[in-house]
Every structure is written in C-alpha cells, then in structure tokens.
Chains A and B, each alone.
Chain A
Amino acid sequence: MTNIETVSHQLAEELKKHHADYIEARLEENQTSHITYRGQNLEAIGRATTSGGNVRALVRGGWGFASFNDFTDLAGKVALAVKQAQLAGSEHSQLAVLAPVTDQVPWEQDRNPVTIPLAVKKQLLDEYNEIIWRTPQIQTSTIGYADSRKKAIFLSSAGSYIEQERADVTLRLAAITAKNGDIQQVGLSLGSLGEFSAIEGLHQQVAEMAQRAVELLSAPQVTGGEYTVVLDPVLAGVFVHEAFGHLSESDFVYENAQLRNIMRLGTQFGGKQLNIVDTATIPGLRGSYKYDDEGVPATKTYLIREGELVGRLHSRETAAKMNEPPTGNARAINYRYPPIVRMTNTYIEPGDTSFEEMIADIKQGIYARNWYGGTTSMEMFTFSAGEAYMIRDGKIAETLRPVVLTGNVFTTLKNIDAISNDLDMNQGGGCGKGGQMPLPVSNGSPHIRIRHCLVGGK
C-alpha cells in the first residue's frame, strides 16, 4: 500500500515548481468494511483498502483537476492540472483570503468501526434479520451495513498542510411484504460518525419496522390534493435539507444575476418563528469536521433567522465572488471529485408549540413520519415519507400508505405555522449533488406543521 504521507511530501515539492494562481492537492487512504443481506442469506461481506489523490489548480479563474489512484509520475499530474487550468481560465482568479493552516486532527483509536471483527458485526445483523423474519407475512428483507475510516491530507501552494481522519457507520434495513401481487416496504436508516454503538440495540425498532410493512398491505392510499401536514423531526429534517438547504448553497446562485436578486440577504422567506442553521462544528454528528476540503475551518451559519434570509454556504470562490465570508462548506465525496458547496448538519431550531397543540385543531390532515428520500430543483422540491397517518378531528387516525409531498420553496416555508420544542437530528441520510453521492450529512428539526402542502395520491 502506498504511504500517502510520503506522497504528500513529494507533492509539496512539485506544487512549488508550477506557476498557477493557486494549487492544492488532496490524498486519501480509506479502509472500509461492508455486509449486505438479501432475504435470509448473507449476500456480500468484505473489506477494502483504497487510496488515491488529486491535484486542483486555478489559473485566471479557470480550474484544472486531475484525480488518480496510480501514484507514479506526480510531476506529470501536477503539470496536467495546471495545463488544464490554463486552458479553462480567461478572467482573473478570486478566492476568499485564507491564512495557511498546519494541523493534525487525530481520530480516537477506539472509534474505528472498521477494526471490529466482521463476525461481531455479522452477529448483530443476524439478530436484526431474525427479528424481521419472525414477523408473519414477510416476503423478504434487505440489510446494508457499511463503515469506513478515512485519512485525508490536504496541502496547498499557500502553505497549508492538514491531516484529518474521520470514521463513518451506516445501516439500512428494509422489510418487504407481499399479498396477491401487492408489494409493500418499510425501511430504517441510521448512521453515526464512527460509533458502532449507534446501531446496536435496535431490536425493538426493527420489530416495529417489520410490523409496519405488514400493516401497509391493508392500508389505504391517500387521495391526492392539498392538506395540512405535520412532519416528525426525521422527515422535517429531510424537508429543510431539500426545501431550503440546497438553495442556500451559493454555487448555484453566485453567477446567476436573477437568483442573486431573489436570494438577497434580508429577504423574508418564512414566519418569525423560523430559524434554520447549518454547522459542521457540533461534535459527533456525521456532517461534522474541523476543516472542509479546501482547508477552511468549519463555522456555524444561520441561513434563516426569524424568517429572514441571513446567510448562505460558501466555497472560497463563491465567498470571494459574492463578497461574503467563507463558511467552510466545500466538500468532496472522495478524491475522485473536486470539492463543491455542500451542507453539513442542517436543522430547524426548536419552537414552543407542543405536538399535541399542533394537531389539536386539524380537522383533516396528514401526519407524515420517517423518510424514503427527497430531491429538489431549487424552486420545487419533493420528499417522501416512510410512514403516514390521517389526522382526523385533532387525533391520529388510520395508517396510510407512504406519501410523497411536494412544495415550492417560495411559498411552503411561509406556510410553516407551528414548530415544536423536540429537536432531533437524523444521522441516516446521504446527500447527492453533481454526481457526488452519498455524502455524509445530518439533518434535523422539531415537529413542524405546514399548511396547504401538496400530497400525491389517487
């Protein structure tokens, strides 16, 4: 296995030899293990160790990028990135000013999930799978477990040298039921910043998940249309990520004059009770880190404060071009990709309504919990619930089949009229953007109520 520290010293020398406005390199060493089940059988189990790196150069506002997992001819790789940047560049380079950083961010050795024996991991997953299969009417199940421990070295022509390590654990389970050609499924997604214990002891939750998949076979499909919906913290977290988070990533905004106008700081997007934050500085969350992939320290950024747009997420380039401070949100999923503006841990701050108060005056509405997924086109977004119930006369009523909800960012945020006090972060998600997926993020919220939300159905 190539030692990336040795490579980094050679690269540091190469970076000095080239003329570009700016050059940086990232090197990574990744250990992973994974176990998947399809039905009652273990399907795949394995370990992998990979390494690779990239060089990114900036010349007259144009970027050149070369990624590789073959560490020979480093000089050629740096030259290629610089040559590409020269071809791409035609104006002048702008990057937010950053003092060079030299730092080593170690990882606690006891938080390395990869070194836990495969047999221990398999034992736990066997227990979960048995619980699923003990449930009557189960047709099949899927389980996907993966962990990783990554060491990354960042170096730049400005003199930065940062070594960071991180670890990640994800677990996805799904129970699938069938009756007369009708197939239903319920899933559970969990994750942590390397803590294996975060996925232990879920026996009760797994049993409930399997039971819900059975219940869905006899559940009705909602009638499509506009409803008052109440979202649980998990689904509201997906909602804030899709509905607003992506729009606050300024790589989509900074060179679009109309959008810059719409996204002017100070614009009212929601009611006074709405506060939205993105921050990588909370210890122990999957979206957390000390430095982003451009070597910029992580910050806490208020995106919305009292309903007003007050901030956005930046790379060094978007910050410079919008004349705003950098926020440390440039992230790359791995060495094969250049960093782009991404969220970290995104959440709605708690309010003061209780869940009971929230549903008390709803005559007919939908209570949507848990998530399947979500996506956005900036203006429009959709997100789908893993569980749904009718609300009738202020009470949770019958179980529905999972619903897909959609909205328009410019109206839906204003339709949030109640926020509860029970903030919870969901660590089971992965975000996709520009072909880079899944990036570890977390999102969260208290329960929220949205008026006039469009729900798909028969």
Chain B
Amino acid sequence: MMERILEQALKLAEQAEVFTISSQETQAHFEANRLKQLQTKQQTTVALRVIKNGKTGYATATELGNSDELVRNAAETAQFGTAAGFQMPSPVAYPEVEVFDPAVDSVPTEATIGLGEEMIATVTAHTPDIICEAGVSRGTLSVRLLNSRGGQASYQKSFFSLELEGNLTRDTDMLFVGESESSCHPLTGTKTVTDAVLWQLELSRNQATAPGRTLPVVFTPNGVASSVIMPLMAAFNGKTVLEGASPIGNQLGKPVFDRKLCLWDDPTAAYRPGSRPCDDEGVPSQRTPLITEGSVANFLYDLQTAALAKTQSTGNGSRSRGSLPAPSPSAFVIAPGDMTFAEMIEDMKEGLVIEQLMGAGQGNILGGDFSGNVLLGYKVENGEIVGRVKNTMVFGNIYELLKQITAIGSETRWVGGFLQTPPLYCPGLSVASKT
C-alpha cells in the first residue's frame, strides 16, 4: 500500500517519502487509591512528503486506503512550500538498536493492575491518608518509511511505564509527591518508584522557610528535568541556531559552560523509550556530543535544517504524529561526576534542594531563563535536610547557572524517558520567598 502511494506521488513530484506510524497502547489508571479505568488506544497515521518543482509539500491521513486524496493534498501544498535543500537518504545500513521486547505485549492486564495496586499499597502503608493517582501503561508501535531514492526503514518499539503521584492534604496545605519509570522491557517491580516517593514523603515531614536571597542549590534528577532542560533543548536545536535565536549559536567549540559538564543526545541506548535505529526521515541514529567538558560541541539537525545550515543531519528529524520533520532531541544524557548526593548536602551550610519546579517553562526559554515556584523542594541547614519549603520562588538563567557548577553527582538516573542525569550542585540561585 505504501509502495502504491509512493508510485502515485512520483507521477506528480520529483521526490517523495511515505511514513506510517501505528500504535496500540493500554493503560490501567488509578484514582483516589483505586482502579478507575482501563483504556486502550489504537492509532495509525500516514504522512506523505513530496518535493515538487524543488518545493516541499506534505499531507497526512489516518487511513492508507484513500491515496488519491493524500497525493493531491501533498501536491497542492507544495506550491506554497519551502524550497527543499536536501536529498532524501538513499539505502543505508542502520545501527543495531534494541527497542522491542515482545514480552510487553503478553503481559496480562491483571498483572498491570497488580503493579498499580502494589505501588498504592506501599505508599498508603507508609502514609495512610495520602491520595494516590497511578498509571501503568504498556504498548507497541511500528514505524515504516519508504522514499523515492530507495531508502527504507522499519522497526517496532515496545514501551512500559509506571507513574505514581500522591497528594497529602492537611488543612489547606497540599503536598505533592511523585515518580515514574519507563523502559522498552516490561517492568516487573515497583520499588524504584515507591522508594523515591517514600523518600520524598520522609523529607517533607517538617516545613522549613527559605530566606529570600541567593542560595546554593542541588537539583535532583527530577529537579534538573523541571528547570534547566527546556532552555537547553531550545539552545541546541539546529533550527533555533540557524535563526540566530540561540544564545550559543555562534559559540561552537567555545567554553560556555563549566568544564565539568558533558551532555549528549543518545538515541542508541538499548531498551530506552527515546531510542530508535533511525530518525523519522530514515537517517541513522547516532550519539551526538552537545557539551564536551563545558564547550559547545554540536547542534541537533534534521535534513532540511542541516541543508540550510550547510552541515549534516545528526539524525534528529522528528515528526509528531506525522507532521513535517523538525529537529528534536531523542534523549539527553548528562555525564555523572564524582560527588554523591549525600556529600552535596553535607557540603551546604544553608541551601535548597529542588525536586520539582512549577512553571519554569513559561518564561523566556530562548534566553535561558527559568523561573518558578518550588513545588517540591527542601531546605538544607548545616549539612542536613531540615524540611520542605513552600511559597518559594526561584529565578535563574542557565547561562549563568551552568557556567560555574560546584559538583556533578555520581548517581545518575532516567527521568521520564527523555533525560538521564545525575544531581547538579550549583553555587548560587536567586530565591524569593513569602514568610
């Protein structure tokens, strides 16, 4: 069927590419400590990209059947489209990237329900009046791509995830704790998630007040994900760079960040949900260094952006549900350092630990700003966590914050499938608080 669409498209256009993605996902969803809903989602998307008279056109559909309309729509939009500066990839060998475990499909629904019940039982045994929401999801997707230069790719991916969020309300005080874990293998235990949540509950037993001034800060892996990652992703996006809207766009090879900081994009790690053998344009996956010992090493490109920037695609062309490809990270990895989390806390006379920052994505991300309310964070006094802070706001800019890092943690972990990071210990962040 895809072959026929390609054939039809080539009657009207010089180059063409057909991309299909089909997914099937099942989730057990728990609310108020009980199983509430089981849901199954099936979806197929077909996308056709053509290059006609040197310009790009594209269209999407949800059914393979109606190829005439798909081809007509793609050809119609090509008259307005951007000049295509690239060639679609010819046949190429892809790296071996393991992302499919057939065992995911055969996990019985009862077993996924059991995992959710187990998470809730563990947390409510520790804190009886907590109200938990939980999700256990699993699914598979299959991707296939064909282009007119003979390039073709296809792979299957499986995914499995656990999510837990707890709310503890006392008078008008609300505490939110939460953790998640994901893999391409079935997850069989819940201890990683529940240990993290119990740890958060323990540290939040007491309340503490942060003074309104500049304080040293430790970002936990969740804290890193909710604060500095969005500005970093924007800054390393080849498109932002091409437009001159990335503060580091002309800093290639220059030491912009602390020498201790190493960051790369890695779509090749085995059985990680962000991994794949090739990107959504059929360019082979590669590990791309972005920050090497503090210096800017590369930016992320898809085919079109790379052509305009006179460079090569890094295999980061990504389509969300069939839209035109755009550069996007697969998974960011920050290299671990040499200080344990416990040593970081011991090292601080007075400071903050940030576990969840709320609203950091709402400011001037392009400029590197992140500013938000500390939804979950702890006060440190004389080398010890003394309690949870509230009504506290932090204000930072990644180009100031990451220029000088006190230490990078030695314990690294995955957050939400798109980031692997250790804790980061930074010397100073502006804090405003209400007493």
Contacts and interface: CB of A to CB of B under 8 A. Distances in A.
A393 B63 CA distance: 64
B375 A183 contact: no
A106 to B, nearest CB: 25
Contact of A65 (B39, B76, B171, B390): B39
Q: Chain A interface mostly helix, strand, loop or mixed? A: strand
A402 B173 CA distance: 29
B245 A176 contact: yes
Contacts of A182: 247, 367
Interface stretch (B196-204, B259-267, B355-363): B355-363
Interface string B234-265: 00000100011111000000000000000000
Contacts of B63: 1-2, 69-70
A67 B42 contact: yes
Contacts of A458: 395, 430
B366 A183 contact: yes
A404 B359 contact: yes
A457 interface: yes
B434 A452 contact: yes
A350 interface: no
Interface in A362-388: 372-375, 377-384
B207 interface: no
B328 interface: no
Contacts of A41: 82
Interface stretch (B9-17, B28-36, B278-286): B28-36
B187 interface: no
Contacts of B35: 62, 88, 90
A139 B81 contact: no
Contacts of B245: 139-140, 176, 178, 183
Interface string A344-362: 0000000000000000000
A372 B366 CA distance: 13
Interface residues of B, number: 75
Given A185-B364, A258-B170, A404-B362, A65 B38 contact: yes
A455 B131 contact: no
A377 B69 CA distance: 45
Interface stretch (B53-61, B98-106, B291-299, B341-349): B53-61
A456 interface: yes
A138 B173 CA distance: 46
A181 interface: yes
Nearest to B78: A45
Contacts of A51: 62
B309 interface: no
A181 B247 contact: yes
A225 interface: yes
Contacts of B90: none
Report the contact-size class of chain A (Cβ under 8 Å from the partner). 35 or more
Contacts of B323: 44
Nearest to A39: B243
Given A373-B361, A404-B362, A84 B39 contact: yes
Nearest to A65: B39
Nearest to B174: A379
Given A140-B243, A379-B172, A225 B367 contact: no
Contacts, number: 233
Interface in B389-435: 390-391, 393-395, 399, 430-434
B366 A176 contact: yes
Contacts of A68: 41-43
Contact of B244 (A2, A118, A178): A178
A256 interface: yes
A374 B395 contact: no
A392 B174 CA distance: 36
B243 A225 contact: no
Contacts of A62: 35-38
B41 A42 contact: no
Contact of B77 (A118, A184, A401, A452): A118
A384 B359 contact: yes
A251 B36 CA distance: 12
Contact of A457 (B38, B176, B430, B433): B430
Nearest to B26: A84
A88 B38 contact: yes
Contact of B80 (A1, A66, A119): A119
Contact of B62 (A47, A52, A256, A374): A52
Contacts of B62: 50-52, 69
B223 interface: no
A113 interface: no
B212 interface: yes
Nearest to A69: B62
B434 A44 contact: no
Given A41-B82, A224-B395, A457-B395, A378 B359 contact: no
Contacts of A408: 391, 434
Contacts of B36: 62-63, 88
A419 interface: no
A410 interface: yes
B169 interface: yes
A45 B395 contact: no
B40 A80 contact: yes
A226 interface: yes
B142 interface: no
Interface of B: 28, 31-32, 34-44, 57-63, 66, 69, 73, 76-77, 80-82, 109-110, 113, 129, 131, 167, 169-174, 176, 212, 239, 243-247, 323-324, 358-359, 361-364, 366-368, 371-373, 375, 390-391, 393-395, 399, 430-434
Given A224-B212, A377-B358, A382-B362, 9 more contacts: A63-B36, A69-B42, A70-B63, A85-B38, A224-B395, A338-B37, A373-B361, A377-B375, A379-B172
29 contacts: A1-B69, A45-B81, A46-B73, A46-B77, A47-B73, A64-B37, A65-B39, A66-B39, A66-B41, A67-B42, A68-B41, A69-B44, A69-B63, A87-B110, A140-B245, A176-B366, A183-B366, A224-B395, A256-B167, A256-B169, A373-B359, A375-B359, A377-B375, A379-B174, A380-B174, A404-B395, A410-B172, A452-B434, A457-B432
The 10 nearest A-B residue pairs measured at CB:
A382-B359, A224-B432, A255-B32, A84-B38, A373-B362, A65-B39, A140-B243, A258-B169, A63-B37, A379-B174
